[in-house]
Structure 1
Amino acid sequence: MISVLLIAALAASSPQGLPTPEGNPIKTQAIKAEAINRGEWAYSTDLPVSLRNEPIVKVDFRLKIDTRGRVSECQVTRSSGFTDADEAVCGAVTRRARFRPARDAKGAAIPSEYSGFVTFTA
């Protein structure tokens, strides 16, 4: 039986200041994108059959998240050593991952990035 472990850490926009009538900025923070279905991003069946007996297959990735909370790009940041596995993970995460979009200090949805990894174990 293959198990899947998905761990991710978010990197979104940095805090911003809004000017007050006096000209002094009020410190406010942007809201980071929030993953809403992390457990549904990758399944053992996403791993190519030829790799399902490998003891560990781990793929690190960075996602670009658009203003609708959808993945617009997936980049492998540390390869598993298996091109098929890397492509399968990015494809699955791009199709399935959903986010509440990041927001700037004024509340407008903004693009953001999300980094994480998927590990398959035999």
Structure 2
Amino acid sequence: MGEKRAMLFGGFSFLFVAGLAAPSVVAPPAPPSTASLAVQGRPASNPGTWVTTGDYPAIAMRERREGATGFRLTYDASGVPQKCDIISSSGHAVLDARTCELVMIRARFEPGRDAAGRALGGTYSNRVRWSLPETGPDMGEPFPFAESGNMALDYLVDATGAVARCDVRIHGLVGEGADQSDVGDPCVEIRAAAPYPPPHDRDGKPVARRYRMTMDVIVEDIGAEDTPPK
């Protein structure tokens, strides 16, 4: 399974699918002039965590779409984004839409403050480069398993259909001198296919749902006398 490669600008990560976030009923106030700010606003978390390599839209991967999307977020005095504008297109609507979708959900800010200490909203601009994954390394063994071992996969789909968490644990499976990442990361594929239809309980209400899977692999040598006929 090939390794997915993320490229970013300004310390920012990237990616998204689905439509742009629905506009607010009340238009956000115009951002204050930087001259009126005693303290400048800034991201509350590392922008590189807002979008991950697993967020590449599946359709864009299949159709081999790439490009850079420039965006501008307008956030309120609580630091929550209210609007996302595409200021330079990647040339592909699905990549532009995915960009805005994810940063609207994941970006949060420490708002700027005026001389009296009042929090004020503001804007933040950056861009995301969408780059298709490169081919993974040759393991020198029948792909993807060289030795016996097991894999455990645990992921959570939230009530919106987004992948809230995904963890994979691998024991064995790769040969001496190889890295476990050569086996591939199922979480990349799971995130790439999101968003999923939201899970529902028996009453039809959206719920989060956890999925856990395990797989055991046995790799063993067979002598020539035991080789099955062709």
TM-score (norm. length: structure 2): 0.43
1, 7, 14: which one pairs with 2:34? 14
User: Identity of paired residues, percent?
Assistant: 30
Partner SS, residue 91 of structure 2: coil
Give distance in 2, aligned partners of 1:30 and 1:57: 37
**Residue identity opposite 1:48 in structure 2:** P
- Mapping of residues 42-81 of structure 1, within 5 Å: 42-52=51-61, 54=64, 56-81=66-91
In the alignment, which residue of structure 2 is the partner of 1:36? 44
In the alignment, which residue of structure 2 is the partner of 1:103? 113
Give distance in 1, aligned partners of 2:77 and 2:124: 13
Per-residue CA distance 1:83-111 (angstroms, 9 max, x = gap) = 11111110000000011011112110111
CA positional deviation for 1:55: 7.2
CA positional deviation for 1:6: 4.2
CA positional deviation for 1:75: 0.4
CA positional deviation for 1:7: 2.4
In the alignment, which residue of structure 1 is the partner of 2:102? 92
Which structure 2 residue ranges, 5 or more long, are not aligned? 12-30, 133-230
1:117 aligns with 2:120: no
Q: Which runs of 4+ in 1 moved over 6 A?
A: none
TM-score (norm. length: structure 1): 0.77
In the alignment, which residue of structure 2 is the partner of 1:3? 6
**How many pairs align?**
108
Matched-pair contact (CA < 8 Å) for 1:65–1:112: yes
Give distance in 2, aligned partners of 1:80 and 1:55: 9
Relative to structure 1, the CA distance from residue 52 to residue 2 in structure 2 (aligned partners, 3 Å threshold; closer, same or farther) is farther
Give distance in 1, aligned partners of 2:55 and 2:74: 21
Structure number with larger C-alpha Rg = 2
Which structure 1 residue ranges, 5 or more long, are not aligned? 17-28
Higher mean displacement: 96-105 or 47-56:
47-56
* Aligned-CA RMSD value: 2.2
Answer 1 or 2: higher relative contact order, Cα 8 Å, separation at least 6: 1
